[in-house]
Every structure is written in structure tokens, then in C-alpha cells.
């Protein structure tokens, strides 16, 4: 013990810790690297957000069920729906819309062509469609309608309602039928705008 004490005293009464750990050291933070990481994360989140918005408003895929739009759209084909269009504008005559009949969420989506808009009067006379007393200007060739059903008598289209018909007029359940009637805007999913499947038929819907 005396020997150790003497050695300690010879060194000036202090232990030399110069070779030990220095807990007082501070490591520098690379702020540029941190900024780049946050910028990278922000870009990823922005990309995901933009993609999600585009898919929600323009990329909803809807299958065509039945032959009611035959000539324009065929059974089993797949279309994309533009949900954004009617956030800014109102459906207009000859638009092809996608809707749930009477808002029934258990039903498949219906796809029909708008014939008349709020305030219009529709009537089917001798197999032809008349809107406000004038023959409707079709953008497609249509066969003679064998049965006007409800529209054999004048139908006034109410506020936020639309009278619709299928392009295959003699094989379409549409506004001529009591269980469909005029379509309320709140039940419209959007505008059919792009045919995506099959690929050989890919293109804008008119």
C-alpha cells in the first residue's frame, strides 16, 4: 500500500486519465443529410397522395353488365369512371353516366346515356325520343323503340334528376321503367370516360 501511495504522490497526486473515455465530446449533426431525408420522405408522401387522388377521381374501374349499351359498350368490358367531372359541372345530354339505381348499394352499377336534364320534358312518340317537343339529337344510331313505357306520356325531369336511356333501346332497363325512373344526381358515381378492357377496344367513350 505504501508503494502504491508513493507512486501516486510522485505523479503529482493525480491519476492520468488522458487515455480514457471522454464523455464530454459532442458529435456533430449533419443537417444537410437530415434535410435531404425529410425532403425525400415528403416527396414520397406527395407522390402517394397525388396517385391516390388520381385513382379515386379518374381510375375507378367498373365492369359493363348486360347488353343495354351494346354498340357503345359490350357486356364484360371494363371502363374507368371520372368522379371529378360532376364535382364541377352538371351532366349534360349525351353524357354516359354510371349510377346506382335509386342509390341501392347492393346493386351493380348501371351505365346509361343522359337524354334529358332538370326542367326538360321527355316523351317517346312512335318509337322516337322527344325533349321539349323536339326530336332528341342522337350522337349514335338507334333502332326504333318498341315500347316507350312510362315515357309514352310526358315526363317532367325534376330538380337534380336526369332521364337516361341505354343505347340498345329495346334491351335496356332505364328511366322508362318505374323501378329505375329519373336518376338523382346524388346516385351518380361519375362519367364513363375510358374503355380499358379489352385492349383492342381501348379508347375514350363517346
Cα separation, 72 vs 96, whole angstroms: 10
Cα separation, 115 vs 138, whole angstroms: 9
Of residues 27, 70, 107, 112, which has the active-site annotation?
A: 112
Torsion of CA 31, 33, 35, 36, to 10 degrees: 160
68 is known as an active-site residue: yes
112 is known as an active-site residue: yes
Contacts of 52 (CB under 8 A, 6+ apart): none
Of residues 15, 26, 68, 128, which has the active-site annotation?
A: 68
Nearest 5°: phi and psi at 72? -110, -50
Catalytic residue positions? 68, 112
Amino acid at each position: 500500500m505504501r508503494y502504491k501511495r508513493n507512486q501516486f504522490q510522485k505523479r503529482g497526486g493525480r491519476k492520468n486519465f488522458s487515455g480514457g473515455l471522454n464523455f464530454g465530446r459532442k458529435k456533430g449533426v449533419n443537417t444537410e443529410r437530415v434535410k435531404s431525408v425529410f425532403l425525400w420522405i415528403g416527396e414520397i408522401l406527395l407522390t402517394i397522395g397525388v396517385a391516390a387522388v388520381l385513382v379515386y377521381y379518374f381510375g375507378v374501374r367498373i365492369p359493363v353488365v348486360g347488353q343495354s349499351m351494346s354498340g357503345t359498350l359490350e357486356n364484360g368490358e371494363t371502363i374507368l369512371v371520372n368522379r371529378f367531372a360532376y364535382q364541377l359541372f352538371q351532366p349534360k345530354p349525351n353524357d354516359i353516366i354510371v349510377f346506382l339505381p335509386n342509390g341501392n348499394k347492393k346493386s351493380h352499377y348501371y351505365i346509361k346515356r343522359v337524354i334529358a336534364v332538370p326542367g326538360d320534358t321527355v316523351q317517346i312518340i312512335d318509337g322516337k325520343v322527344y325533349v321539349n317537343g323536339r326530336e332528341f339529337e342522337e350522337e349514335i344510331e338507334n333502332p326504333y323503340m318498341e315500347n316507350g313505357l312510362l315515357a309514352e306520356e310526358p315526363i317532367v325531369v325534376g330538380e337534380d334528376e336526369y332521364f337516361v336511356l341505354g343505347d340498345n333501346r329495346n334491351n335496356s332497363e332505364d328511366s322508362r321503367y318505374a323501378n329505375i325512373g329519373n336518376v338523382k344526381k346524388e346516385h351518380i358515381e361519375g362519367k364513363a370516360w375510358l374503355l380499358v378492357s379489352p385492349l383492342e377496344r381501348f379508347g375514350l367513350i363517346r
